[in-house]
Structure 1
């Protein structure tokens, strides 16, 4: 029987980031059901850091993560994970109330500037007259961030088992016996960082699920040779009907902002969502699309109140939730990992996240 202090279920950004901190002080195993970590949500991210994205519940985690992504510890990574982007929130004349609500919601928290959108996006169709500039938005090098966490985890002595699923777990004093597809293990604490599979992992562990729902998000990569510049901002519809961002010269990543309920799975794009994305893009800009180069889908997993779930299960000792990040788990990963580590270790919050309040994220709110 293999013994660990902590078993983390899920090797995506959530499990890797938290494991990188926990492995410094404990014997930690990450169970990853796929042959490579980060295959699902982490590997399908549109890869930006935006403080308003996710709303007020997510913004404190995003804001606290910014400096950690911009200037990481040199022992962790030798350069920034961020690069310049900006966001332009756009709308038509009738969307003025949405602009005003956005400005009010983040007043004093995020710098937002009402602007004329036309000069910022050449080719924007003339009915898009409302703009709000969020200059702080950055692109994230997701692959580099994920790999840096995995390297840190391994360097601290953490073990990563690939193609290893949690089949069942039962409480056995003083901890857990876990049956995995690679054999049994024992541990003192299970961390549920399983993304779309979080509720299923809870069920297999005899823990009541908390209603984490996977929602499919479709993304298409378009060839648009007439796009004026690869340095244009991320363009986000105030009505949440689409967003798109340049991904190099003549290339755009585009989503129709869909959120269709899905079982946990290897998500695939729906043709209707692809068609909706193209129609909404062509209604926003006059850049001809020459081809669809690639299309994919990922699952964004939400708790019922759409806030992340970080903390011990209120009913089952030794079971820790680290899930429900929605589509915001990449941009919040550094702060969330520090928060999770503090909650597990019982230590004070480190200075980088000293202003965070853990209460809105604890799973007890959902029981």
Structure 2
């Protein structure tokens, strides 16, 4: 039986990007996916954008370090973002500006006139905003395929329909029994299982870290009038909605974070109705039809920061999980950093300014 250097559980954006980095560093990698194809859950359902402030100030270094790779390889489409508010939201807008001062994020405060010029039909009560010009849409499918192709070229073995059902470690290696009837061996096991990260931890005898899946709902609306194609991403400074144009339609979310068991997430009708109600309080237009609706799970550690590195208690177990909704926009730098932590390689130009200690699983020990 082949003993791989690394077996990664989960072939979404996390597992695929890490497999590419480890493979290109010369490691032998096994990538195990429980579903029929990679990216079925959160990765395949993301309305992702590269947004410098998303996830908070401690995520800005990962986001900025990922920007060049995403831009240079054509995965970004310029969009811009507006965090909008009303008169009563002044304190929240002031706090946002203060939190991100000095992080390197490019943001500026703007008033009613430039907001209305960017958002057609904006209602009068929305008078203040923070403008983030660098925000861009991410071509998630192409990015995911990019990582899978790099991993494949580097020799990664991808096996789908292979949920790990038993894991034992003896003699310095893991024996992994999978639902496809096969057993695999690896020196290091990487938990990149997204919403199932704590489930996998329990399976392999590790302490769960409290990584909680949260359901996020998105709906595609046909509106009259249709949105302007160059309209920015619009987010409520209080966190109750976001929307953006997509191929002549509006993609809209109530910014919900409903705790969920790990599952094949489905949208709730109430969440869709709440989103539409909030949207119509922002812009004056008619919602003609809800053409599509979907949901995905975004998984967070208790402090809402990602978890990268070796488990402090279980030998041969690594974490690459808890990446919330920012896993796609930070994937280039996050995967490079995690690969360096796992292999003991030195930092490079991408990761040299990132404090890995704040993402370590040891912080929960």
Partner of residue 364, structure 2: 366
Give the SS at the match of 1:58.
helix
Give the SS at the match of 2:287.
coil
2:108 and 2:131 in contact (8 A); partners too:
yes
2:221 and 2:287 in contact (8 A); partners too:
yes
- How high is the TM-score relative to the length of structure 2? 0.97
Structure 2 unaligned blocks of 5 or more: none
> Structure 1's 228 and 171: CA in aligned 2 closer, same or farther, altered over 3 A?
closer
- Cα shift at 1:68: 1.2
Task: List per-residue Cα deviations over 1:35-87 (Å, max 9, x = no partner).
Answer: 01000000111120001011112111111111111114xxxxxxx11011000
Partner of residue 210, structure 2: 211
2:194 and 2:299 in contact (8 A); partners too:
yes
2:222 and 2:288 in contact (8 A); partners too:
yes
Summarize the alignment of residues 351-362 of structure 1 with structure 2, pairs less than 5 Å apart.
351-362=349-360
Alpha-carbon distance in structure 2 between the residues aligned to 1:212 and 1:330: 18
Give the SS at the match of 1:349.
coil
Alpha-carbon distance in structure 1 between the residues aligned to 2:5 and 2:78: 40
- Cα shift at 1:208: 1.1
1:105 paired to 2:99: yes
Partner of residue 296, structure 1: 294
Structure 1 unaligned blocks of 5 or more: 73-79
2:89 and 2:237 in contact (8 A); partners too:
yes
Aligned-residue RMSD, C-alpha? 0.9
Task: List per-residue Cα deviations over 1:314-361 (Å, max 9, x = no partner).
Answer: 001110000000011000000000001100110111111211110000
Partner of residue 89, structure 1: 83
Partner of residue 8, structure 1: 8
Alpha-carbon distance in structure 1 between the residues aligned to 2:354 and 2:72: 20
Summarize the alignment of residues 131-170 of structure 1 with structure 2, pairs less than 5 Å apart.
131-170=129-168
1:120 paired to 2:118: yes
Partner of residue 219, structure 2: 220
Task: List per-residue Cα deviations over 1:205-240 (Å, max 9, x = no partner).
Answer: 111111100000000000114034111000000000
Summarize the alignment of residues 262-277 of structure 1 with structure 2, pairs less than 5 Å apart.
262-277=260-275
- Cα shift at 1:3: 2.2
Alpha-carbon distance in structure 2 between the residues aligned to 1:113 and 1:5: 47
Give the SS at the match of 1:284.
coil
1:177 and 1:187 in contact (8 A); partners too:
yes
Alpha-carbon distance in structure 2 between the residues aligned to 1:137 and 1:9: 31
Larger displacement relative to structure 2 (110-119 or 271-280) = 110-119
- Cα shift at 1:2: 3.8
Alpha-carbon distance in structure 1 between the residues aligned to 2:235 and 2:226: 16
Summarize the alignment of residues 174-253 of structure 1 with structure 2, pairs less than 5 Å apart.
174-182=172-180, 183-249=182-248, 251-253=249-251
- How high is the TM-score relative to the length of structure 1? 0.96
> Structure 1's 201 and 120: CA in aligned 2 closer, same or farther, altered over 3 A?
same
Partner of residue 76, structure 1: none
Task: List per-residue Cα deviations over 1:96-128 (Å, max 9, x = no partner).
Answer: 011111111111221211112222212011001
Alpha-carbon distance in structure 2 between the residues aligned to 1:353 and 1:141: 23
2:81 and 2:235 in contact (8 A); partners too:
yes
1:2 and 1:184 in contact (8 A); partners too:
no
Give the SS at the match of 1:154.
helix
Give the SS at the match of 2:18.
helix
Structure 1 moving runs of 4+ over 4 Å: none
1:124 and 1:284 in contact (8 A); partners too:
yes
Give the SS at the match of 2:44.
helix
Q: Matched residue pairs, number?
A: 359
Partner of residue 19, structure 1: 19
Partner of residue 77, structure 1: none
Give the SS at the match of 1:98.
helix
Alpha-carbon distance in structure 1 between the residues aligned to 2:120 and 2:152: 47
Alpha-carbon distance in structure 1 between the residues aligned to 2:227 and 2:203: 52
